[in-house]
Amino acid sequence: MVASLLFYFFAGLLIASAVMVITAENPIHSVLFLILVFCNSTCLMLLMEAEFLAMVFLIVYVGAIAVLFLFVVMMLNIKWSRAFDKSSLPALSFGFLAGIFLINIFMVVGSDAGQLLQTNFFEWKELLTVGLTNTHLIGKILYTNFFYFFLLASLVLLVAMIGAIVLTLQKHVSVKSQNIGVQIARSTKIPFYNQR
């Protein structure tokens, strides 16, 4: 009973904070609500007894990625003027996409509702092996069954990192930089100075 109440509390808070991530006008507030989303997700994972995933999620997403987002947003020097004050295009497009998403969810749940009610649920930990910790079990699954997907995810992150570096690399006139072509083309002759 208490677990169900906690689940509905954290799930409701997660959905509300996820909506605030999208609808917040200030990007810094949006990132702070994103941190709240990650914390609520961690609480849900703790309720499902996936302690290792919860702690890794908290450390990686809240401790690294969300703080990185916050620093990037603070360094962008965004002008605090609303660009779409006179236009309702963003709200209409958001409503249209949300309506398509809800229709898809109802179609999937409606077609499989009978099967979902008749399904016997099982514990995924007990199905694979007995006597292993969460860390050992996740490592075993990740590096055997999903090894290629793990490598593909790392390549996607590498491409995203390179893209972020290329997009933020700016050449300023005031910054001194080397021109390798000019340095190589220099003459090796030592200039002669008149000695007095």
Per-residue model confidence (pLDDT) at position 86? 53
Asked whether 35 and 63 are in contact (CB, 8 A), the reply is no
Asked whether 42 and 58 are in contact (CB, 8 A), the reply is yes
Q: Look at 145 and 37; give whichever has higher pLDDT.
A: 37
* This model's pTM is above 0.85: no
d(CA 141, CA 147): 8
Closest to 80 in 3D by CA, of 119, 26, 39, 117: 26
- Helix 2-23 and helix 27-47: axis angle, to 10°? 160
Q: Report the range out of 5-9, 77-81, 86-90 with the highest average pLDDT.
A: 5-9
Report residue 13's pLDDT band, with 50, 70 and 90 as the boundaries. Answer: very high
pLDDT tens-digit series, residues 85-133: 555 566 677 778 888 878 877 776 666 555 555 555 555 555 555 667 7
d(CA 123, CA 49): 11
DSSP H or E segment with residue 174? none
Per-residue model confidence (pLDDT) at position 71? 76
| Averaged pLDDT for residues 36-57 | 88
Q: Average pLDDT, whole number, for the chain?
A: 76
77 has pLDDT over 50: yes
pLDDT tens-digit series, residues 51-64: 888 888 888 888 88
156 has pLDDT over 60: yes
Closest to 8 in 3D by CA, of 38, 43, 56: 43
DSSP H or E segment with residue 148? helix 147-168
One-letter amino acid of 160: A
54: Cα separation from own chain's centroid: 15
Pick the CATH number of 1-78 from 1.20.120.1200, 3.30.390.30, 3.40.440.10, 3.40.50.300: 1.20.120.1200
Asked whether 15 and 27 are in contact (CB, 8 A), the reply is no
Per-residue model confidence (pLDDT) at position 84? 47
Query: Where, residue-wise, is CATH 1.20.120.1200 in the chain?
Result: 1-78
Per-residue model confidence (pLDDT) at position 78? 62
Q: What is the DSSP string of 95-142?
A: HHHHHHHHHHHHHHHHHSHHHHHH-----HHHHH-SS--HHHHHHHHH
